[in-house]
Amino acid sequence: MCNLKVIVVLVFVSAGAISTGADMDEVSEHIKRVSTSKYPCSAPQPRVMYLRDIIGDELWENKYKNDMRDIRPFHTVLHRCEGSGCCSRYNQRCKPADTQTVTLKYVVITKQRFVEFPAENHTSCHCEEISDNLIK
């Protein structure tokens, strides 16, 4: 009786490791959906960016935090490489190859003044290796 239980357990464990043709078909379809030819890492995509992310924490905390409700617009659109395309190796990510600094103008409504901030716009992308401890 004890031997029968062991056999049943072994059959159950190994049955979970066996993949079916349907599983492989599903994986193949998934690979096709995310292929690097459909989503190449080359062209940055537009992303909404909020002012705090553009100017950084220090300038935000020291100078503009209290004015935030009065600054317009609240956000802007810049082009970004991150998440815009696929790379062919597990340890590569889509990163900016070229950037352009643009000057963005905002208004502080209550103080009736304009402020300008430089921002980085990605203009082209490439696959770049990242260290193993940064892989998520």
For residue range 70-87, list pLDDT tens digits in order.
Answer: 889 989 999 999 999 989
**Global pTM exceeds 0.75:** no
Fold of 39-134: Cystine Knot Cytokines, subunit B (2.10.90)
Peptide bond into 73 cis (omega under 30): yes
* Contact call for residues 107 and 64 (beta carbons, < 8 A): no
Q: What mean pLDDT, rounded, does the chain reach?
A: 82
Q: What pLDDT, on the 0 to 100 scale, is given for residue 99?
A: 98
Q: How far is C-alpha 86 from the geometric centre of its chain's CA atoms? A: 11
- The bridge status of strand 71-72 relative to strand 75-80 is unpaired
